[in-house]
Amino acid sequence: MLSLSELKQGCFHYVGIAGTGMSALAQFQAMAGGAVTGSDRLLSSGGQPENARALCALGIRLFPQNGSGITQELAGVVVSSAIEPNNPDLERARALGIPVIHRSDMLSAWVNQYRTIAVAGTSGKSTVTAMIFEILEGMALSPSVITGGNLIRLSEKGLIGNAFVGKSDLLVVESDESDGTLTRYHPHIGLLLNIQKDHKDIAELKEIFAVFLSQCTLTAVNIECPSAAPFAGNGLTFGMAGKSGLRLQEVTLAPRQSTFTLDNVRFTLPLPGRFNVENAAAALAACRLLNLSPDKAVAPLSAFRGVERRFQNIGTVNGVTVIDDFAHNPTKISEAIRAAHLSSKRVLAFFQPHGFGPTRFLKQELIDALATSLTAEDILFMPDIYYAGGTVTRDISSQDITEAIEKRGRRTVFREDRKTLIPLMVQAARTGDMILLMGARDPSLPLFCRDVFDALQAAI
């Protein structure tokens, strides 16, 4: 395990530094006083210029991903599970005998240096992580954060938004289960939000989360989730059930906000949807385990700025609201559509699946979620599956999903190229509608959302 002095004194090179998890760690290390370099094919091709500028502003030097950034002076080369064995940077590092460190081991090293609150579960991790961070910051406790979503409050300061180094020993981290590496962490507090089929089958996820919770000093589990509840043990529980250790009561869901009572304290959250109320309960459970008064969390939660692409309001044109959301698994899609219906009778839902493997794995669940959540008046727009590269079997298409949903009485539109869907959505939109744009992993989706909004404005 890397020591704090090694993390701050040696120079580490991040391969694929533009990736969400990698950029967060690279920024965190640079903010903590460490020397960092990195490479990414996306940045080299001119993609994500704002992120490239933000990385450089922290003193991070960027190189082409051709091995030129790998020198004998490096203390280590950091990679994620997405980096292939024949990557030029990785091959060069091995040739020079430079230690190759997995991203999860680097995160573990930081987790073990702090009094860490680790947020785990299939859905809601980024939002809960952001809520805890903003609550602690609002209490003047100067926390740090490493997460998978960009906090709007941090991005408004010129940062990417997925990492920040505070002055205290408190660190909030989003713990991703997709590759099973969260079992390497030993945090002070562990939260389990839910367990749903996503990257893996539920049985495999249960094994991963069981190990994770066993390595936490204190735990809190969402008792509302049937798959997660059995893991509560002697730890704190939260939810609406009467047996919850931290019980949600008097929940009111409105189009733009939610209110609820917890620990005899009334809270207002500037986000819609029951799932966000549960997210807030998880954040407050972390506060309970830190022995913090819930009264002091009222103001920070009411001022919560949110996370980019988590039901983010892009704007309203002629009575049509455009929302950008990261929803990509069945549960997230269902919750996003339900939240949209709180304020709009009719929803024009756009969903871009990511990856042929994940879409194949979740095909029936995606069909069920969309067919159940959408009404007969709604319209679903789908482009073909986002392809991120690599060797894949292209034996499934978005059209397979739209055809199955149409058979269940829902209206759908499929086009291979998503750009051709923009004029169709604009033409279909009428006052009072919401255009809900959903998808993950594709870094160009925020720009696509902006294109939809601009097209609406141009059509006035």
pLDDT for the residue 179: 67
Distance CA 128, CA 280 (A): 7
What separation in angstroms does the CA of 302 have from each of 269, 288, 335? 5, 18, 21
Among 225, 262, 214, which residue's Cα sits nearest to residue 123? 225
Calculate the CA dihedral of residues 208, 210, 215, 218 and round it to 10 degrees.
130
Among 349, 350, 438, 368, which residue's Cα sits nearest to residue 407? 368
pLDDT for the residue 4: 60
Alpha-helix residue ranges (DSSP H) falling in 83-174: 88-96, 103-111, 125-138, 152-155
Among 124, 104, 113, 115, which residue's Cα sits nearest to residue 142? 115
Angle at 142 between CA 299 and CA 106, to 5 degrees: 125
DSSP-assigned letter for residue 115: E
Among 93, 100, 80, 73, which residue's Cα sits nearest to residue 2? 100
SS3 category, 41: helix
**Residue for token pair 């819609």:** 272
Task: Give the predicted TM-score (pTM) of the model.
Answer: 0.93
Determine how β-strand 236-239 pairs with β-strand 218-222: parallel
What separation in angstroms does the CA of 107 have from each of 73, 74, 146, 264? 22, 18, 9, 37
Distance CA 116, CA 212 (A): 13
Angle at 346 between CA 345 and CA 347, to 5 degrees: 125
pLDDT for the residue 157: 93
Three-state secondary structure along 296-359?
HHHHHHHCCCCECCCCEEEEEECCEEEEEECCCCHHHHHHHHHHHHCCCCCEEEEEECECHHHH
- Which residues on neighbouring strands pair with residue 248, listed in sequence order? 262
pLDDT for the residue 1: 62
Q: What is the pLDDT along the chain (460 residues), one digit of tens a residue?
A: 666 667 777 899 999 999 889 999 999 999 999 999 999 987 877 778 888 999 999 999 999 999 999 999 999 999 998 898 999 999 999 999 999 999 999 999 999 999 999 999 999 999 999 999 999 999 999 999 999 999 999 999 999 999 999 999 999 999 988 766 788 889 999 999 999 887 778 899 999 999 999 999 999 999 999 999 999 999 999 998 878 899 999 999 999 999 999 999 999 999 999 999 999 999 999 999 999 999 999 999 999 999 999 999 999 999 999 999 999 999 999 999 999 999 999 999 999 999 999 899 999 999 999 999 999 999 999 999 998 776 778 899 999 999 999 999 999 999 999 999 999 999 999 999 999 999 998 989 999 999 999 999 999 7
Domains of the chain: 4-101 (3.40.50.720), 114-302 (3.40.1190.10), 312-458 (3.90.190.20)
pLDDT for the residue 49: 84
Determine how β-strand 144-146 pairs with β-strand 189-192: unpaired
Q: Count CA atoms closer than 13 A to 24's CA, side-chain side.
A: 25
Determine whether 415 is exposed, middle or buried from the number of CB atoms within 10 Å of its CB (0-12, 13-18, 19+).
middle
